[in-house]
Amino acid sequence: MAMANNKTLCFTCSKEKITYLCRGCSKEFCFIHLTEHQQNLNEELNYIINDYDQFKQRINEQKQNPQSHSLIKQIDEWERNSIEIIQQKAQECRKIVIEYPQKFIDEIEKKFNDLSEQIKQIHSENDFNEINLNYLENQLIQITKEINNLSTNSIKEDSQSFINEISIIPSKISKLNKWKQNAITVAGGNGQGRGLNQLDSHSGIFIDKKKNIFIADWLNHRIVEWKCNVKEGQIVAGGNSRGNEINHLNYPTDVIINQQTHSIIIADHGNKRVIQWTNQNQQILIHNIDCYGLAMDKHGFLYVSDWEKNEVQRWKMGEYNNEGTVVAGGNRQGNELNQFNTPTCIFVDKEQSVYVLDFHNNRVMKWRKGAKAGRIVAGGNGQGGNLNQLSYPTGVIVDDLGQIYVADWGNHRVIRWCEGKEEGEIVVNGNGKGNQLDGPRGLSFDDEGNLYVADCCNHRIEKFEIIL
């Protein structure tokens, strides 16, 4: 009887021998080369242990000596340089304060001595009349004014700092946040109406640091504030029926809060004006503008989208009587990269780049500061429901990582786009039981990263809690 052949090829020596299976790599080795293979694995493990030890040592070094970090060294250098500049400037100012008055007094004293000589001469010669006396009196008044001017010297503080400002920019570690799909209704939700616990086809929303929600209650011609965890809102602007008087609103589309002045700024769309309400006092900031969306950057500049002129304009705080500066669009209606077709909501990031919802082009455009044209960062592939398309987008916000969130009105969803990607991903589709979105419009985050959606056609504000 022939002996059964239980030999196979060894992976290492390629000879037919009795082999043993390595379950890690699923390869067969003879006894000799299996031992060699295990030794190789042990060496690799030692390398990994060594890497772990080195990494642990780095962590301990960072914990024990954080001052050695290169950023700390840069901050220390900035501090030293700034102190030197301040000291140099202070010394220059001291020198001016000490030397200039003395020089000025010497000149006045010379004039006074000349005048004294003239008085002595007139007096000794006893030869003068009214003209001489008027002249002497006027000269004395003049030098008196000059010496009084010394007390009006002051220090001018330039708002434009001569010290280079620095700040720490944390690394943008990619973290794609997720939110619970079962939303919490935090405003409205009691049907369409004018009651203080109701909304009517609202649009823009703004969340302040206390999680209070300011709502442009569109068809009710009012701005309503819903404080955190309350059952009804309170009217903080408008609410006096539709009209064009100073205390009326006409289809307001957006609202923001000026944190510096604690005032409410409103896109009073139907009256073609931007109006400010401060403690029930009203002031029209911008006249004759077909405004829709509002934004304010960290420097206090106000941005307004004008959907009739297909452009976004910027105003400096307190200079609303001047013409605004066009920072996006302004090249007639169209679908080129330097054009819009009905711009609506806008968002401005820390670099003063402007994100614009190009409504009828079904896209979001990003215009960097000073750019002559924008770039498509969401949509732009025609109207539709695919992940690379939008359908009448009506709300946009951008997070700290530069990820763009769009209220995709026609598709009843909120979709996230990362700049440079060819398609987005759905983050809120509203298909959870009892929480389906119907025409979402305004979007906002609170400080904790919870997402708020103006669920327009359901006449409510939905809060989607972040999953930590």
Q: What is the DSSP string of 419-467?
A: TT-SS-EEEE---STT---SSEEEEEE-TT--EEEEEGGGTEEEEE-B-
In degrees, rounded to 5, the angle at the alpha carbon of residue 110 between the alpha carbons of residues 105 and 112 is 90
pLDDT beyond 70 at 157 = no
Q: How confident is the model at residue 348 (pLDDT cuts 50, 70, 90)?
A: very high
Averaged over 303-325, what is the pLDDT? 91
* Residue 379 parent element (H or E): strand 375-379
Q: How many other C-beta atoms can be found within 10 angstroms of the C-beta atom of residue 80?
A: 10
How far from chain centre, in Å, is Cα 83?
A: 30
127 vs 120: CA distance, rounded Å: 11
User: Of the spans 226-230, 248-252, 445-449, which averages the highest pLDDT?
Assistant: 248-252
Distance CA 440, CA 411 (A): 9
Ranges of each domain in the chain: 5-64, 74-169, 178-467
Whole-number Å distance between alpha carbons of 457 and 145: 72
Element (H, E) at 363: strand 363-367
Q: What is the spatial distance between Cα 184 and Cα 156, in angstroms, rounded to a whole number?
A: 53
Cα(51)–Cα(55) distance, integer angstroms:
6
CATH of domain 178-467: 2.120.10.30
Query: In the sheet where 440-445 sits, what is the strand order?
Result: 184-188, 460-464, 451-455, 440-445
Per-residue pLDDT tens over the stretch 270-304: 999 999 999 889 999 999 999 999 999 988 899 99
Report the alpha-carbon distance of residue 294 to residue 187 in Å, rounded: 22
What confidence tens digit (pLDDT) does each residue in 183-205 have?
999 999 999 999 999 999 888 99
In this structure, are residues 317 and 302 in contact, taking their beta carbons and an 8 Å threshold? yes
Tokens in use for 274?
């931007």
Instruction: Look at residue 168 and tell me whether its pLDDT is greater than 60.
Output: no
CA 164 to CA 155: how far, in whole Å?
A: 21
Q: Measured between alpha carbons, how far is 234 from 239 in angstroms, rounded to an integer? A: 10
**DSSP secondary structure string, 254-311?**
EEEEETTTTEEEEEEGGGTEEEEEETTEEEEEEES--EEEEEE-TT--EEEEETTTTE
422 φ, ψ (degrees, to nearest 5): -85, -15
Q: How far is CA 61 from the centre of its chain?
A: 36
Cβ pair 402, 350 in contact under 8 A: no
Cβ atoms within 10 Å, residue 245: 11
The candidate with the shortest Cα–Cα distance to 408, out of 379, 432, 435, is: 379
Q: Positive or negative CA dihedral for 98, 100, 106, 109?
A: negative
92 φ, ψ (degrees, to nearest 5): -60, -40
End-to-end CA distance of the chain: 70
Confidence bin at 172 (pLDDT 50/70/90): very low
User: Long-range contacts: 151-157, Cβ < 8 Å, 24+?
Assistant: 153/97, 153/101, 155/93
Q: How do residues 373-421 score in pLDDT, each as one tens digit?
A: 999 999 999 999 999 999 999 999 999 888 999 999 999 999 999 988 8
pLDDT over 80 at 20, yes or no: yes
Q: Strand, coil or helix: what is 249?
A: strand
The DSSP string of 320-347 is TTSPPEEEEE-S-BSSSTT-BSSEEEEE
Cα–Cα dist 394/413, whole Å: 11
User: 0.85 cut: is pTM over it?
Assistant: no
> What band does 354 get if pLDDT is binned at 50, 70 and 90?
very high
CA gap 247, 32 in Å, rounded? 93
Q: Average pLDDT of 58-83?
A: 75
Angle, helix 130-148 to helix 70-125, in steps of 10 degrees = 160
pLDDT at 100 over 90: no
